[in-house]
Amino acid sequence: MGLAPEAREYLETTKANERPPRSTLTPEENRAGHARAIAYMGEPEPLPVVRDLTVPGPAGDVPVRLYRPVAGGTLPVLVYLHGGGWVLGSVDTSDRPCRNLAALTGCAVVSVDYRRAPEHPFPAALEDARAAVRHVAAEPSAYGADPERIAVGGDSAGGNLAAVLAQEARRSGPRLRHQLLVYPVCDTDTEGPGSYREFATGFSMTRDDMLYYFDNYLAGHDPEDVRVAPAREADLSGLCSATVITAECDVLRDEGEAYARAMEAAGVSVRHRRFAGMFHPFWPLAGVLPAAREAQRYAAEGLRAAFGLPPLAR
């Protein structure tokens, strides 16, 4: 159906399709441009606890931001990894959706400010994300978290990290209840037919953007490594349940949906929804796109079910 009218209006208003190619800009320029989208993410959900902390990581302390919808008590917890192609993004650019997820789900959210490429290429982001999940599991009292109800999630590159962590947890722990994958990067093949060809240009994130991200993140590393391309893992059985969200007009659409089907075929409980007429990255833009608000609600519903919480009231 192509872009929804509100999606087209957003792209035209923000001139998102008129920016210079990512490869012609410095990382700092790209990050500053990416951060301007915060203005369209809606007012911050007021929460009683929003606290910046650190967890020990392999290269020093990793900054994290804790969100809690109630001050006291023990809550399920979602470890969240922001998007941005492993190059852009931060706990600040993911602040609004993390607040909304905490409020809607009734869980604690630990958002991870992992190291970014090109300054810190693979596997730095994955190492920091792994350290955060393990710290939450090992020191749940620091977050008021229930160590038996831990989920991982993220959007785009963060969805990639979450998918990889879910695969690792199956083998080495900690036990995870759920994985939230929002238009995740699941593979490194940008050449095939389908969404990579159909939406290569003109829909905010381009195929060339993904090539830029891969070049910076991989920095020569094997692109077929399952820690980069989780869809290449041969055995997906035994993974925790999943919620997968995709956008119709997104180069990453087909690989996200193929990964959802592959997990389901392996016996994993999967909820998947494609948001018609949406682009990458619509997910955080709840201030202007009703579909973003609905996607965040859909994510919260999956998390609540996995955590054994009652459904959201309509």
Output the pLDDT for position 313: 84
The answer as to whether 144 is a domain residue is yes
- Percent of the chain topping pLDDT 90: 98
Looking at every residue in the chain, the average pLDDT score rounds to 97
* 3-class DSSP assignment, residue 309: coil
Sheet holding 178-182, edge to edge: 49-57, 60-68, 108-112, 75-81, 145-155, 178-182, 241-249, 270-279
Output the pLDDT for position 192: 84
Per residue in 151-165, pLDDT (tens digit) is 999 999 999 999 999
The CA distance from 255 to 270, in Å, is 15
The answer as to whether 313 is a domain residue is no
Tokens of 235: 């055995």
Strand stretches in 226-269, DSSP E: 241-249
281: domain CATH number? 3.40.50.1820
Q: Does the annotation mark 221 as catalytic?
A: no
The answer as to whether 44 is a domain residue is yes
Residue 286 has pLDDT above 90, yes or no: yes
Q: Does the annotation mark 250 as catalytic?
A: yes
List % helix, strand, coil for the chain (3-state, nearest 5). 40, 20, 40
Output the pLDDT for position 46: 98
Contacts of 73 (CB under 8 A, 6+ apart): 144
Output the pLDDT for position 256: 98
Per residue in 46-75, pLDDT (tens digit) is 999 999 999 999 999 999 999 999 999 999
Interval 74-97 mean pLDDT: 98
The answer as to whether 114 is a domain residue is yes
- Percent of the chain topping pLDDT 70: 100
Interval 240-262 mean pLDDT: 98
The CA distance from 154 to 144, in Å, is 21
Q: Does the annotation mark 215 as catalytic?
A: no
> pTM of this prediction?
0.98
Least Cα distance to 201 among 24, 19, 60 occurs for 19
Integer-rounded Cα Rg, in Å, for the chain is 18
Output the pLDDT for position 132: 98
Q: How far is CA 307 from CA 47, 60, 159, 199, 253, in A?
A: 20, 31, 19, 36, 27
The CA distance from 125 to 114, in Å, is 5
**Selected catalytic residue, list 156, 195, 204, 241:** 156
The answer as to whether 168 is a domain residue is yes
Per the structure, how many domains does the chain have? 1
Instruction: Point out which residues pair with 148 in neighbouring strands.
Output: none
* One-character DSSP codes across 62-127: EEEEEEESSSSS-EEEEEEE--STTTS--TTTTHHHHHHHHHHHTSEEEEE----TTTS-TTHHHH
Q: How far is CA 202 from CA 177, 188, 289, in A?
A: 37, 21, 18
Per residue in 104-124, pLDDT (tens digit) is 999 999 999 999 999 999 999
The answer as to whether 311 is a domain residue is no
Domain of residue 69: give its range: 5-306
**Selected catalytic residue, list 113, 128, 187, 250:** 250
* Long-range pairs for 33-36: beta carbons < 8 A, 24 or more residues apart: 34/84, 34/88, 34/89, 34/93, 35/90, 35/92, 35/93
Residue 23 contacts residue 81 (beta carbons within 8 Å): no
The answer as to whether 312 is a domain residue is no
Instruction: Point out which residues pair with 64 in neighbouring strands.
Output: 53, 112
Residue 311 DSSP one-character state: P
* 3-class DSSP assignment, residue 245: strand
Residue 280 DSSP one-character state: B
Residue 1 has pLDDT above 80, yes or no: no
The answer as to whether 187 is a domain residue is yes
Residue type, 163: A
Output the pLDDT for position 64: 98
Per residue in 173-190, pLDDT (tens digit) is 999 999 999 999 999 999
